[in-house]
């Protein structure tokens, strides 16, 4: 299958390129600023995805059977800092890709986020539960879902993803990569003991997305995540143990939401996701935290520091 991948250099995009190549697909993937190689791509294109004309030309040139959208301004603080840029990437781009999918008759796999919910509920959120975003990123993700399914209802599937673990192309994007960078620089990162997430790896999510490309009998909005809910602080401790680091080499500060009333207004306390409707339709299985940890490697930017500890 010919797949057009928007955002091939991102945490999920690079995992998708590898997963799709393993299944024998031909993937044309876009990058913005990333200059390195991306395993699994047949062709790497530099495209400004904030430019509708450039995006349209790139997709029509390829005339793909599936379009996969992994491009975004995916850090909520960056959306607040650059709202117009974030609107272009998080809302206008998926709308354009959906119109193109409808035009060329391609499957569209779009990514949204757990952050469409406010996190006040302890029970897992179902995909049909009322959304209630508490930050701009969450509001843009909802807008993108509406735009995508209005423009290409018969072609599109949206997966709302949780906090993602994994190995990124530049080795600086995901949680373990940021924690290791902090420790290598002698910093003590703070993690909330009372914020709970249900993480999965970008690799596991990518396998789901490849399956979604390969079948066209699943449409609408679904959730995907791992099998366990965990606090950010406990996840940090599990990561430290996984990399066999001690408390001195890898200190963590336990932070409580009550200590940061301003910051937590835009942060959800608990985001548990109901994944059974999608899990029941797929060969890919959701993973335990232990299985996710097994996939993580020491990224190149901190490898020298890490080896020096031995
Ligand atoms: N990471 C998470 O924990 C998480 C959780 C839930 C949902 N999600 C969603 O999952 C999707 C993938 O997230 P991610 O973490 O993989 O994102 P990411 O690592 O931040 O990657 C973003 C991608 O978008 C590209 N991009 C951004 N602006 C661009 C522009 N103007 N022109 C061309 N490319 C541009 C980047 O290209 P360059 O780097 O080459 O510039 C990169 O390939 C997003 O929709 C995100 O909202 C992520």
Cα separation, 271 vs 112, in Å, equals: 14
Question: Above 90 in pLDDT, residue 31?
Answer: yes
What b/e readout covers 268-294, taking b as 16+ CB neighbours within 10 angstroms?
Answer: bebbbbbbeebbeebebebbebeebbe
* DSSP label at residue 126: P
The confidence score (pLDDT) of residue 218 equals 95
52 and 12, same domain (yes or no): yes
Ligand 1 centroid–CA 75 distance in Å is 8
Whether residue 256 lies inside any domain: the answer is yes
Q: Sign of the C-alpha dihedral, residues 292, 295, 299, 303?
A: positive
Are the C-beta atoms of residues 60 and 78 closer than 8 Å to each other?
no
Question: Above 90 in pLDDT, residue 216?
Answer: no
Mean pLDDT, residues 51-58 taken together: 98
Pocket probe mutation, ligand 1, options 28, 32, 148, max atoms within 8 Å of Cβ: 32
pTM assigned to the model: 0.98
Mean pLDDT, residues 178-186 taken together: 98
Instruction: Tell me the residue range of the domain where 101 lies.
Output: 2-170+198-223
pLDDT in tens, 199-210: 999 999 999 999
What b/e readout covers 60-90, taking b as 16+ CB neighbours within 10 angstroms?
Answer: eebebbbbbbbbbbbebebbeeeeeebbbbb
Cα separation, 220 vs 176, in Å, equals: 32
Q: In sequence order, what are the residues at sequence separation of 6 or more whose Cβ sits closer than 8 angstroms to the Cβ of residue 236?
A: 175, 179, 189, 191, 252
Q: In sequence order, what are the residues at sequence separation of 6 or more whose Cβ sits closer than 8 angstroms to the Cβ of residue 257?
A: 192, 194, 195, 264, 267, 269
132 and 217, same domain (yes or no): yes
Mean pLDDT, residues 185-190 taken together: 98
The confidence score (pLDDT) of residue 251 equals 98
Strands 26-31 and 43-46: parallel
Supply 188's token pair: 């003590």
Strands of the chain, DSSP E: 2-6, 26-31, 43-46, 66-69, 107-113, 156-161, 164-165, 190-192, 196-197, 200-201, 220-223, 230-231, 253-255, 270-271
Is the minimum distance from the CB of 87 to ligand 1 under 6 angstroms? no
| Ligand 1 atom closest to 13 (CA) | 16
Pocket probe mutation, ligand 1, options 6, 70, 85, max atoms within 8 Å of Cβ: 70
Is the minimum distance from the CB of 84 to ligand 1 under 6 angstroms? no
Burial class (CB in 10 A: 0-12, 13-18, 19+), 136: buried
Is the minimum distance from the CB of 163 to ligand 1 under 6 angstroms? yes
187 and 203, same domain (yes or no): no
Are the C-beta atoms of residues 189 and 177 closer than 8 Å to each other?
no
Is the minimum distance from the CB of 76 to ligand 1 under 6 angstroms? no
Strands 196-197 and 230-231: antiparallel
Nearest alpha carbon, ligand 1 atom 38: 32
| Ligand 1 atom closest to 47 (CA) | 33
100 and 179, same domain (yes or no): no
pLDDT in tens, 264-274: 999 999 999 99
71 and 217, same domain (yes or no): yes
21 and 116, same domain (yes or no): yes
157 and 292, same domain (yes or no): no
Ligand 1 centroid–CA 32 distance in Å is 10
The confidence score (pLDDT) of residue 156 equals 98
Mean pLDDT, residues 172-187 taken together: 97
| Ligand 1 atom closest to 7 (CA) | 43
pLDDT in tens, 58-78: 999 999 999 999 999 999 999
Are the C-beta atoms of residues 137 and 113 closer than 8 Å to each other?
yes
Ligand 1 centroid–CA 96 distance in Å is 16
Whether residue 88 lies inside any domain: the answer is yes
Cα separation, 22 vs 27, in Å, equals: 11
Supply 124's token pair: 């897992």
Ligand 1 centroid–CA 129 distance in Å is 25
46 and 142, same domain (yes or no): yes
Is the minimum distance from the CB of 13 to ligand 1 under 6 angstroms? yes
Give CA torsion, residues 6, 8, 11, 12, to 10 deg: 60
44 and 150, same domain (yes or no): yes
Ligand 1 centroid–CA 259 distance in Å is 30
Is the minimum distance from the CB of 49 to ligand 1 under 6 angstroms? yes
Of 164, 179, 189, 198, nearest to 273 by C-alpha is 198
Whether residue 279 lies inside any domain: the answer is no
Is the minimum distance from the CB of 113 to ligand 1 under 6 angstroms? yes
The confidence score (pLDDT) of residue 310 equals 81
Question: Above 90 in pLDDT, residue 122?
Answer: no
22 and 92, same domain (yes or no): yes
Work out how many domains the chain is built from and give that number: 2
Nearest alpha carbon, ligand 1 atom 35: 32
């Amino acid at each position: 299958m010919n797949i057009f991948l928007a955002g091939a250099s991102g945490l999920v995009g690079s995992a998708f390129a590898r997963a799709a190549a393993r299944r024998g697909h031909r993937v044309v993937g876009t990058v913005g600023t990333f200059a390195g190689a991306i395993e699994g791509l047949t062709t790497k294109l530099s495209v400004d995805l904030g430019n509708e004309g450039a995006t349209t030309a790139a997709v029509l040139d390829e005339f793909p059977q599936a379009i996969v959208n992994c491009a975004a301004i995916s850090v909520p603080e960056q959306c607040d800092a650059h709202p117009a840029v974030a609107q272009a990437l998080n809302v206008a781009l998926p709308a354009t890709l959906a119109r193109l999918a409808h035009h060329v008759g391609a499957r569209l796999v779009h990514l949204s986020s757990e952050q469409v919910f406010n996190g006040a509920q302890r029970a897992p959120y179902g995909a049909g539960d009322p959304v209630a975003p508490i930050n701009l990123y969450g509001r843009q993700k909802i807008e993108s879902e509406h735009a995508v399914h209005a423009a290409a209802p018969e072609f599109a599937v949206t997966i709302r993803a949780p906090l993602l673990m994994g190995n990124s192309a530049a080795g600086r994007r995901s949680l373990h990569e940021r924690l290791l960078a902090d420790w290598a620089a002698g910093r003590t990162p703070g993690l909330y003991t009372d914020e709970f997430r249900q993480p999965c790896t970008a690799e596991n999510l990518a396998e789901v997305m490849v399956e979604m490309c390969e079948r066209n009998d699943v449409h609408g909005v679904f959730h995907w995540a791992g099998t366990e809910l965990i606090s950010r602080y406990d996840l940090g401790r599990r990561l430290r143990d996984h990399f066999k680091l001690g408390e001195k080499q890898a200190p963590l500060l336990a932070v409580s939401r009550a200590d940061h009333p301003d910051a937590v207004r835009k942060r959800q306390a608990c985001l548990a996701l109901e994944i059974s409707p999608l899990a029941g339709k797929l060969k890919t299985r959701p993973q335990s935290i232990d299985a996710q940890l097994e996939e993580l490697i020491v990224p190149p930017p901190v490898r020298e520091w890490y080896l020096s500890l031995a």
